[in-house]
């Protein structure tokens, strides 16, 4: 049975914009977030408190976050890679944070400059302190399906990192198909294995990139398995600067179109959302890669 309601975890302002070559003005980012909230999205990942030299596009986090933090009816999670990131997030009144681990050594090194175990050791006190402060904590697991340097990623590696993040207190996990190579059978296999190892479906979110055009098919498989948290990015913006070949995330509009057709409630106003992505595409100077945005804006 498919779920009746799905929570869309919107990542466009973070995963989308972190990958832009041109720097997007802070006020444009703030307006983007306001418009996403106004379109009915209840979780809008806002930015990252990472080392600015690593992700220059999000170096304005201190300036951006206060412009949006008082928005009503929306949670605004932020990425934190370490204790310094958590300090910055707490100082600005963030209530939802996300740490981001990797299932592979290659990406842990490229993205966090640490081994997998070293990065988990960094996250442990971060998650403990965040939980102590009453934060909601998400744990991303990147390269959960395939890795550009290592190829197929064995499921046991993913399960190990998921279990470690759960054990340290993460409320929710997000399985990242960072380079978009997953296919539905692989998704079902990983979800089943996680369940067998004691990770319940209700703490699992899925995070698909659409590099091979599989993101919606993978989402459908996850829905059939009972997953109700789906990451997506407005207009299909996105990628990861430290993962070659990663393209945009599943477009939120494509997701909402499918969910509407299935009678699954999301609370999102597709017209407003599409208008937001068309506006953002104008700001970025190129059309949205989302098929649904293109179809709905060329009527
Ligand atoms: P490092 O170079 O090893 O840093 O980077 P360090 O720990 O050696 O510290 C060196 C200096 O950086 C210190 O300054 C720190 O204070 C400073 P000094 O004492 O020398 O003056 N520093 C910081 N400054 C500000 N904020 C901080 C911070 N941390 C240290 N938080 C580090 C290690 C983890 C910091 C770095 O690798 C980093 O910032 N990485 C982030 C990369 C990133 O954001 N990637 C994209 C997000 S992940 C993603 O997109 C995947 C996802 O979408 C899911 C999927 O698709 O798979 C989530
Ligand atoms: Mg991503």
List, as one string, the DSSP characters of the chain. ---SB-EEEE-IIIIIGGG-SSPPPHHHHHHHHHHHHHTT-SEE--EE-S-TTT-GGGTTHHHHHHHHTT-TT-B--EE--SHHHHHHHHHTT--EEEEEEESSHHHHHHHHSS-HHHHHHHHHHHHHHHHHTT-EEEEEEESSSEETTTEE--HHHHHHHHHHHHHTT-SEEEEEETTS---HHHHHHHHHHHHHTT--GGGEEEEEB-TTS-HHHHHHHHHHHT--EEEEBGGG----TTSTT--PBPBHHHHHHHHHHTT-B----HHHHHHHHHHHHHHHTS----HHHHHHHT-
pLDDT of residue 239: 61
Q: Is the CB of 50 under 6 A from ligand 1?
A: yes
For residue 97, the ligand closest to its alpha carbon is 1
- The answer, yes or no, to whether residue 7 has pLDDT greater than 70, is yes
Its pTM surpasses 0.95: yes
- List pLDDT tens digits, range 216-258: 999 999 999 999 999 999 999 986 566 666 678 999 999 999 9
* Residue located nearest, by CA, to atom 41 of ligand 1: 50
Q: Which of 33, 126, 34, 32 is nearest to 79 (CA)?
A: 126
Section 78-83 average pLDDT = 98
Q: Is the CB of 81 under 6 A from ligand 1?
A: yes
The whole-angstrom separation of Cα 268 and Cα 38 is 9
* Residue located nearest, by CA, to atom 30 of ligand 1: 51
Q: Is the CB of 249 under 6 A from ligand 1?
A: no
How far away, in angstroms, is 82 Cα from ligand 1 center?
7
* Residue located nearest, by CA, to atom 36 of ligand 1: 112
- CA distances 261 to 7, 248, 254, 264, 290, Å, are 16, 23, 11, 8, 17
- List pLDDT tens digits, range 153-207: 999 999 999 999 999 999 999 999 999 999 999 999 999 999 999 999 999 999 9
Q: Is the CB of 233 under 6 A from ligand 1?
A: no
DSSP output for 213-247: S-HHHHHHHHHHHT--EEEEBGGG----TTSTT--
ipTM above 0.90, yes or no: yes
Percent over 70 (pLDDT), the chain: 97
Q: Is the CB of 84 under 6 A from ligand 1?
A: yes
Q: Is the CB of 6 under 6 A from ligand 1?
A: no
Q: Which of 11, 15, 50, 106, when mutated, tests ligand 1's pocket best, judged by the most ligand atoms within 8 Å of its CB?
A: 50
pLDDT of residue 286: 86
How far away, in angstroms, is 264 Cα from ligand 1 center?
38
* Residue located nearest, by CA, to atom 8 of ligand 1: 113
pLDDT of residue 23: 83
pLDDT category of residue 1 using cuts at 50, 70 and 90? confident
* Residue located nearest, by CA, to atom 37 of ligand 1: 112
297: which 2 tokens? 């804006």
Give the count of beta carbons closer than 10 Å to the beta carbon of residue 148. 17
Q: Which among 8, 68, 101, 240 is annotated as catalytic?
A: 240
Section 102-131 average pLDDT = 98
> Does the annotation count 240 as an active-site position?
yes
Q: Is the CB of 56 under 6 A from ligand 1?
A: no
For residue 87, the ligand closest to its alpha carbon is 1
């Amino acid at each position: 049975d498919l779920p009746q309601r799905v929570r869309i975890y919107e990542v466009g302002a973070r995963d989308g914009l972190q990958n832009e070559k041109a720097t997007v003005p802070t006020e444009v980012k703030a307006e983007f977030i306001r418009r996403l909230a106004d379109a009915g999205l209840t979780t809008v990942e806002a930015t990252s408190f990472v080392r600015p030299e690593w992700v220059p596009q999000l170096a304005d986090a201190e300036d951006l976050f206060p412009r949006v933090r008082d928005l009503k009816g929306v949670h605004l999670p932020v990425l934190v890679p370490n204790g310094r990131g958590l300090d910055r997030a707490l100082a600005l009144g963030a209530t939802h944070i996300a740490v981001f681990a990797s299932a592979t050594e290659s990406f842990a090194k490229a993205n966090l400059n640490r081994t997998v175990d070293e990065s988990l050791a960094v996250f442990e006190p971060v998650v403990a302190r965040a939980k102590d402060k009453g934060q909601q904590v998400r744990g991303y697991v990147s390269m959960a399906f395939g890795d550009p340097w290592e190829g197929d990623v064995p499921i046991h590696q993913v399960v190990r990192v998921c279990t470690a993040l759960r054990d340290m207190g993460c409320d929710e996990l997000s399985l990242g198909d960072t380079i978009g190579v997953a296919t539905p059978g692989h998704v079902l296999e990983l979800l089943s294995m996680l369940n067998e190892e004691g990770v319940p479906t209700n703490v699992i979110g899925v995070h698909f990139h659409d590099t091979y055009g599989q993101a919606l098919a993978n989402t459908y498989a996850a829905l059939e398995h009972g997953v109700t948290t789906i990451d997506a990015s407005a207009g299909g913006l996105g990628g990861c600067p430290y993962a070659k070949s990663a393209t945009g995330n599943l477009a939120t509009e494509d997701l909402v179109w499918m969910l509407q057709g299935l009678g699954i409630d999301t609370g999102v106003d597709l017209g407003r959302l599409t208008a937001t992505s068309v506006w953002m595409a104008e700001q970025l100077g190129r059309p949205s890669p989302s098929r649904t945005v293109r179809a709905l804006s060329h009527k």
